[in-house]
Structure 1
């Protein structure tokens, strides 16, 4: 049955998103505007935009649902997603901006002087982007089904259409304003209902949240023995290192004016994410008391109606629905920009030299493929699917960026072999999640969360094969390394 507050929320977010995107169109005129907003986005705005695109369906709906069902050990998801920016700040934020690249394939080719490395990175960017887009479209279907009674397929189509309108009209410049707005909308949509629901809980004398079934809800890594401990550490590794390899995250740092701005942006992002991730556990704890056997994926949407009756409950439900819908839109926009940028440069753009036209064609492809996958693929858990995207990113682009920035010995042969090895290893987890066999114990742990072995394997492959092929080291590597690690203030002083 259609819910009026849910419908109003969805329409309001859609109208606001399109209006801000159209306003941003006034500033989007050049190819550089479409790809990297002409590298002129200041840290405050960029941090809000990164927060907007990073807080996806998994953050808004998935974390609370996982903590509700499996307990406090699932808090490693938001801890890892936040700490990933600390790793990014320390290791790659400023040097990556100084590289002057538009995309990850640009960086690979500039660092390694290899078209093969560029092509490999291009394929991986598209693969990771589509894997990450899949749960966004699935989550949109769940939200519209729960909020307004729409068929599940409608969510993917609606979100895909809105994202395409924004991306096609203004590219990165326009999407930056949209995503910054959507971060603050998502924060408000979680914070305001959470504050009211906590007051309701304290006022009605309901019991404290308690464990359900055999789950020990209070202690991380409480059960499962050695395989359970492995799963936790593997998840931590994937989330800590996967952030720096996500194409839609990395591309935002190309929009900063310089390396110093990239670092300041990352510090602000850490604060914004930390503020947001305080809230999902509150919904999970209240869900233990009020939601019972509610569907964990949509518990955040249903909780206000379960705790507050009448008009007030409907209003709170509408607010939360608005935030959830914004989560799908903002993350999908960032991923579409990242995938479209690569397709435009390395596929469509080779046939059509016009940069803006190639970008727009590529954006359509970037949305249509994962949208079709969301309609046809098995129904993965939202947070689980995003976790797999992090595992793939941690096993591929993380080794490339860390070694490419900090070790002059990296060669194209080593890099390509490491990328393929890491992708093959982490892809095992994707396959296992989509077509799970009947196994348990250590085989289940190793296959379901491969980052703990696929990331070291990728690093080792890159290092060993690079040492075996020192003659493949680019002649320009020393100059490029100086460029990566020389602050802009030093360059200006010398000029």
Structure 2
């Protein structure tokens, strides 16, 4: 694909994103508009927006690269990312919406009546968000460098600027429309070229890669370490999905708990359909782009395939379309994560001492949005790039070890105490972060490397176990009014029941 086509694709996506964000400025006026879109987003619109923000660089580029390099065993990634919404549907979606909270720290304080737990949850929201933003900025730099020849920092900075402008302009209501548009753009950007790539493959008559047994089932018959990695990955994706702040916050925008459940069902369908496409690109990459297997090059297979199978204008058009989809992936996910962090930080500005004067909530959110992208942007510009899908896995492991136990136990177990929640958040968080840091810094091998690179299988039980054990030891400190809160979480909104405390 020529540089001109790549620049045109990125420019059009950027302009469309900014235009939609600018148009929503007229309807984003109140604090509720900016933080939770006034809790009025329909299931269809919200599910499209969730699909837009959830299908990140790891989904659009990373899945195809993993399948290309490591075979179909890597499909556990998209399976886990999708099935996580089933857990969210069963355990979290409706009760969380009924809580009436704006953010995860809001829920923590509502449920446990503890400022300390709220502050710990705030720190973890920022940490998970930064871990998730880092690969988005790195992926944007990689994509723009591949398709235009620009320096890697250009794509990272461009995405960061557009994201801040959109969040500042319209808040949650604004990015809802942006993300819904970008889901359908990403789906089309993979679906249309896939049709033509399959036609070219059929025309060439090249054999299917299923004949390559080493690639088809690379870990079949492997040792226990491969089995552990798979199960730990599933634990991270299943549990981590329900704990990702930018996913959780979207359910606060539904009108009620029933709409939250409908939204989750629709998301399952949207994600399941989408993930068929990057898998196909990975298989075709095994046939036509085997030279990209090494290192970060595998993440570029989606961008490279149109030029491997077509020439001239056809290659330019198809390449521009997948480039547009890739850039939309970075923008939509970065918008959602930035909004989640900014919402939490914006509220903290007026809660955290010493605050002499209250800042208007919308102003606080806008300032927080501009500030919260600086750290991940700096890391993206100054650190060595790692695999897009692998780096996102660290964010899932941290969420699975901290927010997942907080939400599940907070919603379903009356006995959770503030001391238990703090112990679980600290223990699970330290284990997950330590595993990620040691992996990136020392690259350990063998069982130590597997346990640290995929910590969720043991760090999530640590989080759950500490919350339960410490809560049992401090059972006398269950907050007053817990019974009323539990009724609020589990009673459908249309039922008229006595919600008074039952202690």
TM-score when normalising by structure 1: 0.97
Helix, strand or coil at the partner of 1:410: coil
In 2, the alpha carbon distance for the partners of 1:472 and 1:152 equals 52
Give the superposition deviation at 1:87.
Answer: 0.3
- Matched ranges for 1:121-200 at <5 A: 121-200=121-200
Q: Secondary structure at the match of 1:339?
A: helix
Structure 2 counterpart of 1:227: 225
Number of matched pairs: 491
1:435 aligned residue? 441
Aligned counterpart, 1:374: 380
CA distance in 1, matches of 2:496, 2:190: 44
Tell me if 1:263 matches 2:265.
no
Which structure 2 residues correspond to residues 296-335 of structure 1 after superposition, within 5 A?
A: 296-335=298-337
Q: CA deviation at 1:370?
A: 0.8
The 5-angstrom pairing of residues 33-432 of structure 1 reads 33-209=33-209, 216-219=214-217, 221-222=219-220, 224-294=222-292, 295-347=297-349, 351=355, 352-432=358-438
Asked whether the 8 Å contact 1:186–1:326 carries over to 2, the reply is yes
Which whole-Å deviations, capped at 9, do the CAs of 1:284-335 have from their partners, x for residues lacking one?
1110111121220111101101111111011000000000000000000000
**Cα distance in 1 between the residues matched to 2:181 and 2:486:** 37
CA distance, structure 2, for counterparts of residue 53 and residue 477 of structure 1: 34
1:185-231: CA deviation from partner (whole Å, max 9, x where unpaired) = 0000010001110011001112222577xx82223742540011000
Report if the CA contact (8 A) 1:62-1:382 is conserved.
yes
Name the CA distance, whole Å, in 1 between partners of 2:239 and 2:219. Answer: 21
Instruction: State the distance in 2 between where 1:156 and 1:87 align.
Output: 33
Distance in 2 of aligned mates of 1:413 and 1:354? 32
Q: Name the SS of the counterpart of 1:228 in structure 2.
A: helix
CA contact (8 A) 1:2 1:149 kept: no
Q: Which moved more, 1:252-261 or 1:342-351?
A: 342-351
Q: C-alpha distance in 2, partners of 1:258/1:321?
A: 37
Q: Following TM superposition, by how much is the alpha carbon of 1:349 offset from its aligned partner in structure 2, in angstroms?
A: 6.3
8 Å Cα contact 1:349/1:358 also seen in 2:
no
- Following TM superposition, by how much is the alpha carbon of 1:430 offset from its aligned partner in structure 2, in angstroms? 1.4
Structure 1 match to 2:18: 18
Equivalent-residue separation in structure 2 for 1:466 and 1:220 (angstroms): 44
TM-superposed deviation, 1:72 = 0.9
CA distance in 1, matches of 2:75, 2:392: 15
Conserved in 2, the CA contact under 8 Å of 1:349 and 1:355? no
